[in-house]
């Protein structure tokens, strides 16, 4: 009866050539194993390529006529939080609001040597000169230069107009911008597994829906959005107090990102990247995941605890005390100090505190600018001692009614509502 299957080679007398048989088996196993490994590698490469293409496809870009810059050089990055109600943002933001405004605007300064970082918040209620900008509402139309609220620049001409306004007001040469909407904040926080914050008193705000106890709470994405938008039920209800909560939250978020181990957790990294890239608009220089990754890597060289949070020195606008104007010469000197920061091969830099001190020397300066000076100087002392400059530290501006600086507890005692401060998370 004829045997089915492979016929093994035989030697003299019909014996199988055992050595050759073993060699054949080894060879087959090697070939099969190599083929399987190659297939896995190919599938892996294809999978990564598909994921990369998906993430790149998420990112929206808009040209803001920024000058070319080196990723490893000095960085002046504009971060814009948009209150657009487009798409899912309507459910998150609520209200019958049309158009979009820059709800939050921050400039992040990183010297080329990355020895520290400075984040400067620009109050959205600032009354400023806005340059002429191409309209986002009507193609081919230019909106004339005007004096108005800072956040209206975004309404008139989107991120490019906000970029142009910031450069004209500050003298900075911005290197990049990133605009993010409500969905982006919620998605990133949820992908990270939440962000811990600590408040000295319970918050129950009907407008935002935020209801958290005193002490440490891990905020979900929606809670985090409510926290950074919280305004009317705490403190004096001003945008300046909200800025301090936002700066505190950013400090906590930065610590969470550093400790999350994203590079060793591909699943979490993908979730964070997917959430972030779906909800941002950038300049073309940050139009790919690789660009964003490179920027993150270079900024990550800034030591933990060496980031200072500051608000542009300001005071009430005489014609409308619900608005503010920038305090001069303190504001100009703050921006100049950032511009004059030199590379390691250049001269010594001028710190924000030194600039503010110079601004107040021998001049009549508003109380707001003086409080700003005191807070920034204390922030720098904390940084010099290796302590956190975020709100996790004992508050520098805590309890200073009307203070425009960040750090420490964010609330201020005032008739407008409960004094809600921040504390070290546990």
Extents of the domains making up the chain: 59-384
pLDDT tens-place string over residues 58-72? 888 999 989 888 898
pLDDT digit string, tens, across residues 363-419: 344 444 444 444 443 333 333 333 433 333 323 222 222 233 333 222 222 223 344
Q: Which whole number is the average pLDDT over 87-103? A: 49
- With 70 as the cut, is the pLDDT of residue 140 above it? yes
Residue 66: what pLDDT?
A: 92
pLDDT of residue 243: 85
Q: What pLDDT is stored for residue 245 in this prediction?
A: 85
For the segment 273-297, what is each residue's pLDDT rounded down to a tens digit? 888 888 888 999 999 988 988 888 8
Mean pLDDT of 332-360: 58
Q: Is the pLDDT of residue 261 over 80?
A: no
82-96, 273-287, 311-325: the lowest-pLDDT one: 82-96
Q: ∠ CA 414-419-423 to the nearest 5 degrees?
A: 145
Q: Over 70: is that where the pLDDT of 14 sits?
A: no
Mean pLDDT of the chain: 72
Choice between 11 and 214, residue whose per-residue pLDDT is larger: 214
Identify which has the larger pLDDT, 194 or 359: 194
Counting residues of the chain whose pLDDT is more than 90, the rounded percentage is 25
Tokens of 159: 């991120």
d(CA 421, CA 245): 9
* Among the ranges given (1-10, 90-99, 219-228, 252-261), the one the predictor scored with the smallest mean pLDDT: 90-99
3-class secondary structure per residue, the chain: CCCCCCCCCECHHHCECHHHHHHHHHHHHHHHHHHHHHHHHHHHHHHHHHHHHHHHHHCEECCCCCCCCCCCCCEEEEEEEECCCCCCHHHHHCCCCCCCCEEEEEEEEECCCCCCEEEEECCCCEEEEECCEECCCCCCCEECCEEEECCHHHHHHHHHHHHHHHHHHHCCCCCEEEEECHHHHHHHHHHHCCEEEEECCCEECCCCCCEECCEEEEECHHHHHHHHHCCCCECCCCHHHHHHHHHHHHHHHHHHHHHCCHHHCHHHHHHHHHHHHHCEEECHHHCCHHHHHHHHHHHCCCCCCCEEEEECCEEEECCEEEEEEECCCHHHHHHHHHHCCCCCCCCCCCCHHHHHHHHHCCCCCCHHHHHHHHHHHHHHHHHHCCCCCCCCCCCCCCCCCCCCCCCCCCCCCECCEECCCECCCC
- Neighbouring residues of 114: CB distance < 8 A, sequence distance ≥ 6: 298, 299, 301, 302
CA 143 from chain center: how many Å? Answer: 29
Least confident among 92-106, 167-181, 283-297: 92-106
Q: How is residue 220 written in tokens?
A: 């979900």
pLDDT at residue 317, rounded to an integer: 95
- Given this model, what pLDDT does residue 217 score? 92
pLDDT at 148 over 90: yes
pLDDT at position 403: 30
Query: So what's the pLDDT on residue 420?
Result: 57
**Is the pLDDT reported for residue 189 higher than 80?**
yes
* Least confident span in 19-28, 163-172, 251-260, 403-412: 403-412
Least confident of 90-104, 296-310, 316-330, 403-417: 403-417
Q: What's the pLDDT tens digit per position in 195-212?
A: 999 888 888 888 778 899
Does the pLDDT of residue 29 top 80, yes or no?
Answer: no
What pLDDT score does 355 carry?
A: 46
CA distance 3 to 143: 89
144/272: higher pLDDT: 144
CA-wise closest residue to 184 among 76, 271, 262: 271
Q: At what angle do helices 266-278 and 182-192 cross, to 10 degrees?
A: 170
List, in order, residues 6 or more apart from 90 with CB less than 8 Å away: none
Q: How far is CA 227 from CA 57, 84, 143, 186, 207, in A?
A: 30, 18, 34, 11, 11
Is 397 or 155 the better-scoring residue by pLDDT?
Answer: 155
Please tell me the CATH superfamily of domain 59-384, with its number: LCP protein (3.40.630.190)
Length of the chain: 426
What are the φ/ψ torsions at residue 97 (nearest 5 degrees)?
A: -110, 135
């Amino acid at each position: 009866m004829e045997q089915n299957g492979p016929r093994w080679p035989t030697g003299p007398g019909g014996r199988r050539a055992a050595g050759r048989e073993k060699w054949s088996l080894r060879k087959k196993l090697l070939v099969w194993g190599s083929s399987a490994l190659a297939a896995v590698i190919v599938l892996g490469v294809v999978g990564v390529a598909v994921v990369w293409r998906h993430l790149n496809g998420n990112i929206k870009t808009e040209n803001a006529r920024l000058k070319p810059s080196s990723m490893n050089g000095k960085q002046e990055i504009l971060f814009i939080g948009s209150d657009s109600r487009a798409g899912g943002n309507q459910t998150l933001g609520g209200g019958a609001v049309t158009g979009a405004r820059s709800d939050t605007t921050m400039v992040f300064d990183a010297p080329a040597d990355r020895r520290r970082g400075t984040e400067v918040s620009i109050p959205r209620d600032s009354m400023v000169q806005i340059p002429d900008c191409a309209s986002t509402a009507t193609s081919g139309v230019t909106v004339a230069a005007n004096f108005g609220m800072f956040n209206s620049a975004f309404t008139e001409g989107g991120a490019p107009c906000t970029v142009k306004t910031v450069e004209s007001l500050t003298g900075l040469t911005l290197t990049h911008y990133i605009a993010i909407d409500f969905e982006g904040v919620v998605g990133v926080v949820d992908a990270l597994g939440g962000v811990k914050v600590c408040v000295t008193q319970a918050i129950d705000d009907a407008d935002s829906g935020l209801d958290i106890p005193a002490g440490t709470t891990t905020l979900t994405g929606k809670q985090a959005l409510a926290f950074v938008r919280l305004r009317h039920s705490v403190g004096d209800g001003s945008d300046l107090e909200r800025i301090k909560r936002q700066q505190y939250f950013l400090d906590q978020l930065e610590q969470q990102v550093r400790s999350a181990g994203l590079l060793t957790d591909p699943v979490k990294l993908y979730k964070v990247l997917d959430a972030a890239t779906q909800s941002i608009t950038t300049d073309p220089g940050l139009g790919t995941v690789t660009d964003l990754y490179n920027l993150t890597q270079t900024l990550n060289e800034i030591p933990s605890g060496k980031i200072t949070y500051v608000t542009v020195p300001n005071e009430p606008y005489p014609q409308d005390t619900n608005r503010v104007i920038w305090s001069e010469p303190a504001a100009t000197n703050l921006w100049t100090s950032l511009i004059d920061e030199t590379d390691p091969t250049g001269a010594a830099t001028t710190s924000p505190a030194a600039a503010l001190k110079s601004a107040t020397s021998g001049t009549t300066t508003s109380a707001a600018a003086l409080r700003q000076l005191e807070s920034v100087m204390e922030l720098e002392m904390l940084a010099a001692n290796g302590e956190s400059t975020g709100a996790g530290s004992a508050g520098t501006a805590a309890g200073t009614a009307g203070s425009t600086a960040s750090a420490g507890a964010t609330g201020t005692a005032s008739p407008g509502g409960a004094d809600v401060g921040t504390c070290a998370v546990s």
